[in-house]
Amino acid sequence: MHVTPRLALLSLAAVSIVAAGACKKKPQPAPVPVVNQDSINAENARRDSIARADQARRDSLAREQARADSIARARQQMDEMMANARNTITAPVYFEFDRSELSSDDIAKLDAKIPLLNANPELRIRVAGHTDSRGSDEYNMALGQRRAASAKRYLTQHGIPTARIETVSFGEEHPAAQGTDEASMAQNRRSEFEIIAGGDNITVPQGE
């Protein structure tokens, strides 16, 4: 439709007059709000319920944590016991120069191994004899074997089956300490104990 500019102006004026009249009317009062106690109670109940649920969830998590902590503590205790048991089994013994006799310290260390070996019949160990760097390279191989054998002999004499203990000698080939002073030499004159089977779970006997 084609509207001429004049006609458009007239219609605009008419609309303006009507609008001016409406603005002069008195405004109506705002409605007073009505208090609905039921609705408040319901809302409170809802919030309480959420809080209780949260608490319950927190309590549950705490219980879960406590349970986990307790398991971890128990596991840690067991790990420590196992580690102690392993350390007892693998504690090395030391020798005098060119000797393979066991000292009282050595015997105490071997005595501590016996109940663990008895409580774990699947456990097999290897005793490795070592020497310091003095002496002949070749004779030291034999001396290391004699040191391994003397530790093994003590254990078998105290009831450990011979089949559960291997022996090997490394002579002076694998020193524990590199120095040539007496303290280093003394650390090298040793028999080491290695668990070669049945060491994943070690039963620690009562009183250990």
Partner 1 sequence: MHLRTSANRTFLASLGVAALFALPAHAHAQDTTSQRGVRIGLSYALGRKPGVYIAPVSGATGDSIRAILQRDLDYGDRVTLIGIDSAGIALAPLLGNGRPSYDVFTRLGAAALVVPTVSPSGVRITLHDVGAKKVAETRDFPLAGASSSRAWRASLHAVSDAVEEWITGTRGIASTRVAFVRGGHISLVDSDGAVESVASPITPVLSPAWSPDGQRIAYSELGNAGSRIGVIDLGSGSARTLVSRGGLNITPAFSPDGATIVFSSGEDEGTDLYAVSASGGPVRRVTVGRGTDNVSPSFSPDGHRIAFTSGRSGHPEVYIMDADGTGAELLTPFSFGDQYYRSNPDWSPDGRSVAFQSQIAGQFQIMTISLRDRSVKQHTSESTNEDPSWAPDGRHLVFTSSRTGVKQLWVLDTESGRVRQLTRNGGARLAAWSPRLGAR
How far apart are alpha carbons 199 and 187 in whole angstroms? 26
Instruction: Report d(CA 108, CA 48) in Å as an integer.
Output: 66
Indicate which single residue of 88, 120, 131, 169 sits in contact with partner 1 (rule: CB under 8 A): 169
**Burial class, 133, CB count within 10 angstroms (exposed 0-12 / middle 13-18 / buried 19+):** middle
Among 124, 147, 152, 189, binds partner 1 (CB under 8 A): 152
- Distance separating alpha carbons of residues 125 and 200, to the nearest angstrom: 13
| Per-residue DSSP letter, 121 | T
Q: Which CB, 81 or 185, lies closer to partner 1?
A: 185
Does residue 143 belong to the site contacting partner 1 (CB under 8 A)?
yes
Q: Between 85 and 124, how does the x/- string for binding to partner 1 read (CB under 8 A)?
A: -------------x--------------------------
Q: Which residues contact 148 (CB under 8 A, 6 or more apart)?
A: 127, 128, 129, 167, 168, 169, 191
Pick one of 84, 112, 115, 170: the residue that binds partner 1 (CB under 8 A).
170
Piece of the chain touching partner 1 by CB under 8 A; list 6-14, 51-59, 105-113, 137-145: 137-145
Instruction: Give the footprint of partner 1 on residues 23-52 (CB under 8 A).
Output: none
How many other C-beta atoms can be found within 10 angstroms of the C-beta atom of residue 18?
A: 8
Binding of partner 1 at residue 145 (CB under 8 A)?
Answer: yes
Of 150, 129, 140, 143, residue with least CA distance to 193: 129
Query: What binding mask, one character per residue, do residues 117-136 give for partner 1 by CB under 8 A, x or -?
Result: ---------x-------xxx
Residue closer to partner 1 by CB (options 46, 134) is 134
**Contact status: 142 vs partner 1 (CB under 8 A):** yes
For the chain, report the end-to-end CA distance as a whole number of angstroms: 108
Q: Interface with partner 1 by CB under 8 A: which residues? A: 98, 126, 134-139, 141-143, 145-146, 149, 152-153, 162, 166-171, 173
